[in-house]
Structure 1
Amino acid sequence: MTQIPTVRFGLRILVLCTMVMLSCHGGIAADKPQPDAQLQKLLKRFPAADKNKDGILTRTEAREYRDKIRGSQAKAVKPTYADVKYGDHPRNVLDFYQAKSDKPTPLVIYIHGGGFVGGSKRIHPRQLQLFLDAGMSVAAIHYRFIDGKNVLLPEPQRDGARAVQFLRSKAQEWNIDPKRVACYGGSAGAGISMWIGFHDDLADPNSDDPVKRQSTRIQAIGTMGGQSTYDPIKIKALVGGRAWEHRSIFKAYGVTTAKEALNPTPEQQKRYDESSAITHLTKDDPPLYMIYSEADGPLPENARPGQGIHHPNFGRDLVKKMNELQIENVFVYTPKAKGRDPNREMLEFFQKQFAKAK
């Protein structure tokens, strides 16, 4: 459950810069349209770089586009409120970015990945800007890390749910529309997002804590490389190989051997079920947009422990179950998504669900 970056942007920019440097070698005028094969290949990946929309990417256009992207990456947006405590644990903190609006805004909550043992609430600047430009406020949270003893699954999921409740309690003060909330993240953050979305409402209307009285139900979910289950027995059947032997799976439940993991006590099986999003799935749950990019197909015989923990089969299993329950879902496998921008599509998916919730 290593962290999945929200946008594979750094690599693309590296490719762009490399191609620009290569294309600038030689004595041809930089601003004269040239049907250079490398540049035209680049144009197919970055159509917005064609400034005059003539169908030919020049070196000047490529350089300008590169500089524009570099500039947008450099403009890190500062949180409106940083490291706000939403719970008692030191890692129960979040950053909040307020979208400019006279009316209450939808809220998108980013939950980072990292195998439940690492990662940061630092959200990718481009992804953040996409949401803010669309009039959506954004929160990014930290949560407790598992330690194999005192903090096990599903405590990080419960932290995520608590963050949703806390943010709803701030609706009036922070200009949030509590009826339009989405969660998204990669890997462990995806699992937490789905758990929040599929789990029954954890609101306690009789609690002395006003935060706990708030609903945990959300209107949309977005995931990158998400695991639908954290039950090692089900992962072994669903993905095969040694994906189920991921070190975080063992640490998540305080087990040390494969025998323990695959032969759980009734109490341990209950924890497996409670920690896995798909076991909570019911027909009234919110729509899901999911992105997968890990290698598809059967895992090799010499697969290492944990290999395949972001396998597309997790998503396919979700598609099957959600289709049976007639819940809207979108499955995107990025190697087959040429010419698409899955992250912008996720934004548009959220907009669609928020429009329904008005």
Structure 2
Amino acid sequence: MNRLVLVPLLFAASLQAQSAAPATKPAPKPKRAPTVANVAYGTHERQVLDFYKAESANPTPLLFFIHGGGWVNGDKANPGELEACLAAGISVVSINYRYSYQAQLAGVMPPVKWPLDDAARALQFVRSKAGEWNIDKQRIGASGGSAGACSSLYLAFHDDMADPKSSDPIARESTRLWCAAVVGAQTSLDPKQLKEWTPNSRYGGHAFGFMDPNDKKTRDTRFAEFLEKRESVLKWIKMYSPYELVSKDDPPVYLKYSDTPALGQPQKDPTHTVNYGVKLQEHCRANGTECELNYPGAPDVKHAGVAEFLIQTLKK
């Protein structure tokens, strides 16, 4: 073929391939610039965090924000309750973390290990910076929505993961929280519980490998298999499901949802239904753990939203 003809054909083919390739969604532009941006707490490109400093002569409480996105999407830009917390004298950290499908591609099982391990490690790293960043190590509250909410509750209920004997000073830092306040949280990763609470549940299997890691659209398509093979991953469910970790020495938590309870009935949005919150609150009360549940028409609500709970709890 004549070279003059070949070059345009190749160029046209290249343009066609580019248009056919899925576009990568850019990270949202931050509304406020962090005091320090993209601080590495690990070696992976996703193991970075932003720090927003509240000016104070004394060490400040901290909001530790974990973004949502089902552990397969999302970014640390524009953390929830940022402005309210800074105005109240509460500094803010917002983290990125390795996605579950990246763990799966790396052969790590269960895949949820990476995002949850990263949340714990980032929290320890932040505590190691307490002196430099003028942070009160004790008064740290976690927050986030959806998967970020689940990660926050995992930290709130998990026993301290500090290793006092480690040669790594960061690993010696505590992972315990002062409180957690979350939105649309998945409180359990047990398919048997989820099916009982909300019959059309579809979320959670990807945390334990029931997903094609090369196609994020398959995240919620294998719930039936997840339920069928529950016993094979039950040891991991016990390790990583927030519901399984609740004990009487846990900090207070605040749960906010936008729908009303309907246990045992299909839900319009089963992945973020308040049914999760109702069952966690029951479980927390049975274990002597403080759990405030807010949804439209909910009784005994003391705080209108996440910011109010965080500010009152972290500043009292």
Give the TM-score of the pair, scaled to structure 2: 0.79
Once the two structures are superposed, residues 252-293 of structure 1 have per-residue CA deviations (whole angstroms, 9 ceiling, x without a partner) of: 211254553123365511112212111011000010111001
Checking the alignment, whether the CA contact within 8 Å between 1:299 and 1:308 is kept in structure 2 is: no
Identity over aligned pairs, percent: 39
Matched, 1:94 2:49: yes
Q: What letter is aligned with 1:172?
A: G
Question: What residue is the counterpart of 1:110 in the other structure?
Answer: 65
Checking the alignment, whether the CA contact within 8 Å between 1:153 and 1:271 is kept in structure 2 is: no
Cα distance change, pair 298–196 in 1 and its aligned pair in 2 (3 A): closer
C-alpha separation in 2, matches of 1:208 and 1:218: 23
Once the two structures are superposed, residues 67-114 of structure 1 have per-residue CA deviations (whole angstroms, 9 ceiling, x without a partner) of: xxxxxxx99321011000112221110000000101000010111111
Q: Give the unaligned 5+ runs of structure 2.
A: 1-28, 212-221
SS for the counterpart of 1:107 is strand
Q: What letter is aligned with 1:184?
A: S
Paired residues in the alignment total 271
What's the CA shift for 1:146? 1.1
Cα distance change, pair 75–169 in 1 and its aligned pair in 2 (3 A): closer
Q: What letter is aligned with 1:336?
A: G
Question: What residue is the counterpart of 1:5 in the other structure?
Answer: none
C-alpha separation in 2, matches of 1:252 and 1:179: 30
Please provide the CA RMSD for this pair: 2.5
Q: What letter is aligned with 2:245?
A: H
Q: What letter is aligned with 2:139?
A: R
SS for the counterpart of 1:113 is coil
Correspondent of 1:285 among 247, 250, 253: 250
Correspondent of 1:325 among 283, 287, 291: 287
SS for the counterpart of 1:320 is helix
Cα distance change, pair 201–187 in 1 and its aligned pair in 2 (3 A): same
Once the two structures are superposed, residues 111-160 of structure 1 have per-residue CA deviations (whole angstroms, 9 ceiling, x without a partner) of: 111111101111257x2110000000000001111114435013211111
Checking the alignment, whether the CA contact within 8 Å between 1:197 and 1:218 is kept in structure 2 is: yes
Q: What letter is aligned with 1:316?
A: V
Q: Give the unaligned 5+ runs of structure 1.
A: 1-73
SS for the counterpart of 2:188 is coil
SS for the counterpart of 2:100 is coil
SS for the counterpart of 2:132 is coil
Q: Within 5 Å, which residues of 2 pair with 1:334-353?
A: 335-336=296-297, 345-353=305-313
Matched, 1:224 2:189: no
Q: What letter is aligned with 2:291?
A: N
Cα distance change, pair 135–355 in 1 and its aligned pair in 2 (3 A): closer
Question: What residue is the counterpart of 1:77 in the other structure?
Answer: 32
Correspondent of 1:215 among 169, 174, 179: 174
Checking the alignment, whether the CA contact within 8 Å between 1:225 and 1:294 is kept in structure 2 is: no
What's the CA shift for 1:341? 11
C-alpha separation in 2, matches of 1:82 and 1:177: 20
Question: What residue is the counterpart of 1:354 in the other structure?
Answer: 314
What's the CA shift for 1:348? 3.1
Give the TM-score of the pair, scaled to structure 1: 0.70
Greater alpha carbon shift after TM alignment, 150-159 vs 134-143: 150-159
